[in-house]
Chain A
Amino acid sequence: MNSPTIFGLCAALLVGIGLFGLIVNPQPLRKILHSI
């Protein structure tokens, strides 16, 4: 396994973590949109 593959896998996991965070904790985004 080379470095681009390691970082590619990290990127895939980061997307998953970000998606999870967006779903379970959408309040900050909602409040920002609401305050606009």
Chain B
Amino acid sequence: MILLLNAGVGVLILSLAIFTILARELFAAAIGFITCGLLLTLIWVQLQGFDVALIEGAVGGGLTGALVIGSAARLEMVEATARVERLGAPVQVAAALLAAVVAAGLAACVFALPESPSTLAPEVTANIDRTGVANPITAVLLAFRAMDTLLEAIVLVFALIGVWSLAPDRVWGGRPGPGWYSDPDGILAYAARILPPVGIIVGIYIFWVGADHPGGKFQGATILAAMWLLAARAGLTDAPPISRTLLRMTLVGGPLVFIAIGLAGAAIAGAFLAYPDSYAKPLILAIEWALMPSLTLTLALLLVGPPQRPATQ
């Protein structure tokens, strides 16, 4: 029965993907993409990957969906031109053949996978007590593979700098985004007043339980960023100027604390990002607490885009 339901979800997501590709309007395609992301979340839950499901729902369906809708809105002006530029039938057939070959190759790889794949899960289970956290995903991300997480946090800051660098010289240091306004009595402003208090609690809860249960800073930060974005889109708040020192310190504060703890590990525990046994959990929590505001700000500002207005506006 479960197998049948899973096959049904598979057929549904494939149908949605085809709809997304064939949709004549960009907005419809964007909605199809977001729905695909939500269905992917269900699939990860079915595969027992709860942490991945949370991040897929928050980032894959949520923040990326907002980004795609924003892009669709920007492209509305050129949509008519884009329709005229569709490729001819021979090229479409060739593209379909190429896509079919790639899909068939990947499908063959799926069938070639071993029945019982090699896994490091037993090693994680054997050593998780030394980290002090109960969630194996958190133990992997912040202890056994902490270097990857550190680099992810740094890459996000560099991505934001890359987005900011697209700003024209005259507004460098100014406020990101166009400065949204909405009807104070409209449904958007209403939702932006009602949802953030709930969303903030959910975001902090998901962050808080991350040490022992599925959740963590990335998922929590994404929800907090979405709540801020909702309030900003409704015109209830505005993005700070990127020249603001406090903003910049918050953005780099998380990665800097992470690096400092890593260097302290090199001096005290003998390796970069190694934790002394009895201090592992407090240090992991310190990194999580430091990264949370940095990630929230980075994700929110990545969505808002480069500065478009002077700081005084």
Complexed CA–CA distance, A32 and B82 (Å) = 12
Minimum CB distance partner of B101 in chain A: A16
Task: Tell yes or no: B86 within 8 A of A by CB.
Answer: yes
Do residues B21 and A13 form an inter-chain contact, with CB atoms below 8 A?
A: no
Please judge, given known A-B contacts A16-B99, A19-B102, A28-B71, whether A7 and B17 are in contact too, CB under 8 Å: no
Complexed CA–CA distance, A8 and B111 (Å) = 9
Complexed CA–CA distance, A28 and B78 (Å) = 9
Minimum CB distance partner of B111 in chain A: A5
Do residues B106 and A20 form an inter-chain contact, with CB atoms below 8 A?
A: no
Complexed CA–CA distance, A11 and B10 (Å) = 9
Do residues B92 and A7 form an inter-chain contact, with CB atoms below 8 A?
A: no
Q: C-beta contact mask, B41-66 vs A, less than 8 Å → 1, else 0?
A: 00100110000000000000000000
Q: C-beta contact mask, B75-93 vs A, less than 8 Å → 1, else 0?
A: 1001001100111000110
Do residues A36 and B17 form an inter-chain contact, with CB atoms below 8 A?
A: no
Do residues A3 and B71 form an inter-chain contact, with CB atoms below 8 A?
A: no
Do residues A7 and B86 form an inter-chain contact, with CB atoms below 8 A?
A: no
Looking at chain B's contact residues, the main secondary structure is: helix
Complexed CA–CA distance, A33 and B85 (Å) = 17
Please judge, given known A-B contacts A23-B95, A23-B99, whether A15 and B86 are in contact too, CB under 8 Å: no
Task: Tell yes or no: B170 within 8 A of A by CB.
Answer: no
Shortest beta-carbon distance from A7 to chain B in Å: 5
Shortest beta-carbon distance from A11 to chain B in Å: 7
Do residues A10 and B95 form an inter-chain contact, with CB atoms below 8 A?
A: no
Report the count of interface residues on B (CB-CB < 8 A): 42
Q: Write out the residue numbers on chain A whose beta carbons fall within 8 Å of the beta carbon of B75.
A: 28, 31-32
Shortest beta-carbon distance from B11 to chain A in Å: 8
Do residues A9 and B21 form an inter-chain contact, with CB atoms below 8 A?
A: no
Q: Write out the residue numbers on chain A whose beta carbons fall within 8 Å of the beta carbon of B10.
A: 6-7, 9-10
**Of residues A9, A20, A21, which shows the largest number of chain B Cβ atoms within 10 Å of its Cβ?**
A20
Complexed CA–CA distance, A31 and B78 (Å) = 8
Do residues A15 and B106 form an inter-chain contact, with CB atoms below 8 A?
A: yes
Give the contact stretch, choosing among B1-9, B174-182, B223-231: B1-9
Complexed CA–CA distance, A25 and B75 (Å) = 14
Q: Which of A9, A16, A28 is in CB contact (< 8 Å) with B100?
A: A16
Task: Tell yes or no: B113 within 8 A of A by CB.
Answer: yes
Task: Tell yes or no: B107 within 8 A of A by CB.
Answer: yes
Shortest beta-carbon distance from A28 to chain B in Å: 6
Q: Write out the residue numbers on chain B whose beta carbons fall within 8 Å of the beta carbon of A16.
A: 99-100, 102-104, 106
Task: Tell yes or no: B13 within 8 A of A by CB.
Answer: yes
Task: Tell yes or no: B209 within 8 A of A by CB.
Answer: no
Q: Which residues does A use to contact B, with CB under 8 Å? A: 1-21, 23-25, 27-28, 31-32, 35-36
9 other A-B residue contacts (CB within 8 Å) besides A16-B100, A19-B95:
A6-B3, A15-B102, A16-B99, A16-B104, A16-B106, A21-B20, A24-B95, A28-B75, A31-B82
